[in-house]
Amino acid sequence: MNCHPPRLRTGRANGGVGGMSKLGELIAELCPEGVEFRPLGGVAHYSSERIDAKEVDSHSYVGVDNLLPEKQGKTDSNYVPTKGRLIRFLEGDILIGNIRPYLKKIWLATHGGGTNGDVLVIQAYDRRIMSPEFLFYVLSSDLFFLL
């Protein structure tokens, strides 16, 4: 994360009424002078890399069915494709279920693997400027899922 005093964001960064959210806590801890706000497309992009289906197994393949609702991560897959090309994800990427967003299926990847088009793979352009953990907290906020 990059702290930039010239363009400060002031006010409460708590994500809701009463108490500070994890996002607000991270901002307060890591950038007490404020943070520079940038559009999502300025700090992250969708993965365009591909991986052969033969390179994944039940642990490294992530479909929308094994992303858990309410931001609870993922479980191993019962179905693993054996043919074709998949979207590659890397440790630290954010995977978001692209179907029924109200289920809030999101996971900060703890390892690399592959997924299909029903799962969005978000990658930070530069992890020195936007850490995967901070990006995950922003994207997993309830406000993000409502927009």
User: Is residue 32 in some structural domain?
Assistant: yes
Does 27 map to a domain? yes
Residue 3 sits in which domain range? 1-37
Q: pLDDT class for 52, splitting at 50, 70, 90? A: very high
Check: CB of residue 66 under 8 Å from CB of residue 39: no
For the residues 108-126, what does the mean pLDDT come to? 97
Is residue 95 domain-shared with residue 66, that is, in the same domain?
Answer: yes
Answer yes or no: is pLDDT of 80 > 80.
yes
- Quick one: 119 exposed, middle or buried, by C-beta within 10 A (0-12, 13-18, 19+)? buried
142 assigned to some structural domain: no
Residue 130 domain flag: no
DSSP per position, 60-80 = TEE-GGGBPTTT--B---S--
114 confidence band (pLDDT: 50, 70, 90): very high
Residues 133, 93, 97, 110: is their CA dihedral positive or negative? negative
User: What is the reported pLDDT for 82?
Assistant: 95
User: What pTM did the predictor assign?
Assistant: 0.79
